[in-house]
């Protein structure tokens, strides 16, 4: 069976994005199998008997018809989409009637083509002789007709060990005499906690709830992993900002103070009363003392076993969040890769045998050949790496972005476009370097997809997604918006249906890739290659 696709124009007025129409033409070539077919599958044996009848009886007729089915997302139910016309007395039909389908890059659109020999006038397809069937995705059909091949580089953060005890801190704070920020009221204060990084930057690790209309708030107690607060360094600076909440998101800065895990662990005492200072007000007012105080009311640390709840935990019954995200995105985008070989890396681990720390190591353990065969190969390498490496922080994004950028910089003629998929729990340690890497990569044929898994605060990730404010570094704006971030938890089906969860994730996370690819092509004046409708997709039935 051969299938050819021609691509229609995008309709900017259609609110369902994308509104690309794919016209699929089908032809079949029925061949006489050799006797070796008897040792093949049951489908081949059935085809053999049918073909044998055709070729031994001069009076036999073949009236072929092809029925197209599309698979529903979630239910996996096959639904008939349409049928070709019936062609009289031929074993090599070229059907005129075409199938016109809506193409959605971000969805895996499974197709099934069933071939029948019509032997009655019945509209019931089951009344006819079934010759065979073939399966493919719509993406596979159009690959020869798109201007660029899309290789996938997959990066999985291997950060949180599967078998560890971790310390969980529980604390409660209150404030006193905070500055009044609201014209018709007092203030609506909340706290934002930041962990300091080695490069002097800060990473958000917790936000409290907002307490409305008060200058003396008492926040609810909250829990946070000690590692998220200080990354194992008890003397690492913890910065706390105090804000007045505003409905439009332009929260007013009240002030800040610094502490450390070691100081907090001492519990309620005179040293854990912090002055909230506003540097701008302090510089303008000579008599300025502070903008209020924040007091630690309670603090305790408990250890808990994290094996059942680890984001990397390999349950025998279902995939973990990392595997679900990888499979959801990878199974769709792999259709646009010509060789189905995907370099896959992890970062944040000590490697055997000497315990060397790496922020970009091949999941398959082969430094010279990091490619995995298909998404299933990537998943296999991921699960195997969990058994061989010692997971270790910090988490640096810049090295892996730069690694893919180096590959993309070598092929800028439009023949290839690189998509970097990063799956992470959101804790980033090198924000300054990552912004620089994104700005540099924005001029190259590549996109970065970040999927956040777990319950972490993803403010840092959202900062990299330039939908509203373009990423900048050292005064330079990114040439294009190339980063798409989504938190996986927003797509998890409440009924526990993993198929629906993955479909929803893939639909959103891949939605921007076509426009990002086109923006690069247009910026470089690269024209699409002529349609390759003469090079059909071949499928055996």
* Residue found under tokens 């159009």: 142
* Lowest-confidence segment of 80-89, 272-281, 526-535 by average pLDDT: 526-535
* Mean pLDDT, range 216-225, rounded to an integer: 93
In the DSSP assignment, the letter for residue 19 is -
pLDDT for residue 539:
55
pLDDT for residue 10:
33
| CA pair distance 137, 369, nearest whole angstrom | 28
Burial label, 338 (beta-carbon count in 10 A; 0-12, 13-18, 19+): exposed
Q: Is 486 helix (H, G, I), strand (E, B) or coil?
A: strand
Share of the chain above pLDDT 70, in %: 79
Q: What is the mean pLDDT of the chain?
A: 78
Q: How confident is the model at residue 426 (pLDDT cuts 50, 70, 90)?
A: low
Can you name the residues that pair with 103 across neighbouring β-strands? 20
Phi, psi for 79 (deg, rounded to 5): -120, 135
Contact 405, 441 (CB under 8 A): yes
Task: List, in order, residues 6 or more apart from 173 with CB less than 8 Å away.
Answer: 191, 208, 219, 294, 295, 296, 297
Q: Which pairing describes strands 418-424 and 446-452: parallel, antiparallel, or unpaired? A: parallel
pLDDT above 50 (res 149):
no
Q: Which value, in Å, is the radius of gyration of the alpha carbons in the chain?
A: 29
* Mean pLDDT, range 399-409, rounded to an integer: 91
* Mean pLDDT, range 279-303, rounded to an integer: 91
Q: Is 404 helix (H, G, I), strand (E, B) or coil?
A: helix
pLDDT tens digit sequence for 22-59: 778 888 876 544 333 233 222 222 222 223 233 333 33
Going by C-alpha positions, the residue among 78, 18, 69, 74 that lies closest to residue 503 is: 74
* Mean pLDDT, range 321-337, rounded to an integer: 83
Q: Higher model confidence: residue 108 or residue 210?
A: 210
Q: Is 504 helix (H, G, I), strand (E, B) or coil?
A: helix
Q: Higher model confidence: residue 10 or residue 132?
A: 132
Sign, CA dihedral 425-490-311-446, equals: negative
Q: Is 29 helix (H, G, I), strand (E, B) or coil?
A: coil
pLDDT for residue 185:
84
pLDDT tens digit sequence for 230-273: 877 889 999 999 999 988 778 899 999 999 999 999 988 888 99
Can you name the residues that pair with 113 across neighbouring β-strands? 68, 134
* Mean pLDDT, range 494-515, rounded to an integer: 80
Q: How many CB atoms lie within 10 A of CB 42?
A: 7
* Mean pLDDT, range 180-189, rounded to an integer: 87
pLDDT for residue 310:
62
pLDDT tens digit sequence for 349-394: 888 888 888 888 888 888 888 899 888 888 888 888 887 887 776 7
Give the H or E element holding residue 449. strand 446-452
| CA pair distance 352, 369, nearest whole angstrom | 18
| CA pair distance 7, 10, nearest whole angstrom | 9
| CA pair distance 409, 240, nearest whole angstrom | 40
Q: Which two tokens stand for residue 310?
A: 């680890």
* Mean pLDDT, range 197-202, rounded to an integer: 78
Q: Where are the alpha helices (DSSP H) in 304-455?
A: 321-333, 374-388, 398-408, 431-441
pLDDT tens digit sequence for 57-75: 333 457 888 999 999 876 7
pLDDT tens digit sequence for 86-114: 887 777 888 878 888 887 776 778 899 98
| CA pair distance 15, 343, nearest whole angstrom | 36
Q: Higher model confidence: residue 527 or residue 280?
A: 280
Q: Which two tokens stand for residue 356?
A: 């060397």
Going by C-alpha positions, the residue among 140, 126, 129 that lies closest to residue 53 is: 129
pLDDT for residue 540:
54
pLDDT for residue 49:
28
Q: How many CB atoms lie within 10 A of CB 475?
A: 5
Q: Higher model confidence: residue 170 or residue 423?
A: 170
């Amino acid at each position: 069976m051969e299938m050819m696709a021609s691509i229609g124009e995008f309709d900017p007025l259609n609110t369902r994005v994308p509104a690309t129409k794919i016209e699929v033409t089908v032809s079949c070539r029925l061949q006489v199998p050799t006797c070796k077919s008897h040792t093949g599958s049951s489908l081949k044996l059935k085809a053999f008997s049918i073909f044998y009848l055709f070729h031994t009886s001069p009076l036999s007729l073949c009236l072929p018809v092809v029925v197209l089915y599309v698979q529903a997302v979630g239910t996996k139910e096959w639904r008939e989409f349409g049928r070709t016309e019936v062609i009289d007395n031929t074993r090599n039909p070229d059907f005129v009637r075409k199938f016109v389908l809506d193409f959605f890059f971000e969805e895996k659109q499974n197709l099934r083509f069933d071939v029948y020999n019509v032997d009655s006038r019945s509209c019931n397809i089951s009344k006819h002789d079934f010759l065979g069937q073939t399966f493919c995705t719509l993406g596979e059909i159009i690959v020869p007709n798109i201007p660029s091949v899309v290789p996938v580089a997959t990066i999985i953060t291997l950060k949180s060990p599967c078998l560890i005890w971790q310390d969980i801190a529980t604390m409660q704070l209150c404030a006193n005499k905070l500055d009044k920020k609201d014209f018709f009221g007092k203030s609506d204060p909340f706290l934002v906690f930041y962990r300091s990084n080695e490069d002097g930057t800060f990473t958000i690790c917790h936000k409290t709830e907002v307490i409305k209309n008060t200058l003396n708030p008492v926040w609810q107690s909250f829990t946070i992993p000690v590692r998220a607060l200080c990354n194992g360094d008890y003397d690492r600076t913890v910065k706390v900002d105090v804000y007045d909440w505003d409905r439009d998101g332009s929260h007013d800065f009240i002030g800040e103070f610094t502490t450390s895990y070691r100081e907090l662990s001492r519990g309620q005492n005179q040293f854990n009363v912090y002055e909230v200072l506003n540097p701008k007000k302090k510089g303008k007012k000579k008599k300025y003392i502070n903008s209020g105080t924040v007091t630690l009311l309670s603090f305790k640390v408990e250890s808990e076993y994290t094996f059942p709840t680890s984001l990397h935990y390999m349950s025998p019954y279902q995939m973990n969040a990392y595997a679900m995200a990888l499979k959801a995105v990878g199974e769709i985008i792999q259709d646009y890769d010509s060789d189905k070989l995907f370099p896959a890396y992890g970062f944040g681990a000590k490697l055997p045998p000497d315990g060397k720390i790496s922020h970009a190591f091949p999941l398959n353990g082969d430094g010279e050949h990091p490619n995995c065969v298909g998404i299933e190969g990537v998943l296999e390498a991921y699960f195997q790496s969990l058994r061989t490496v010692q997971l270790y922080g910090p988490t640096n994004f810049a090295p892996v972005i730069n690694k893919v950028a180096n590959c993309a910089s070598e092929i800028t003629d439009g023949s290839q476009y690189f998509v970097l998929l990063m799956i992470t729990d959101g804790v980033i340690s090198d924000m300054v370097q990552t912004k620089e890497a994104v700005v540099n990569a924005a001029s190259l044929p590549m996109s970065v997809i970040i999927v956040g898994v777990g319950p972490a605060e993803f403010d840092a990730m959202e900062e990299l997604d330039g939908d509203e404010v373009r990423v900048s570094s050292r005064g330079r704006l990114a040439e294009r918006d190339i980063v798409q971030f989504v938190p996986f938890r927003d797509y998890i089906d409440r009924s526990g249906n993993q198929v629906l969860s993955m479909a929803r994730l893939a639909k959103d996370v891949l939605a921007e890739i076509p426009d990002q690819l086109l923006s690069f092509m247009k910026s470089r004046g690269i024209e699409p290659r002529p349609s390759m409708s003469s090079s059909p997709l071949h499928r055996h039935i």
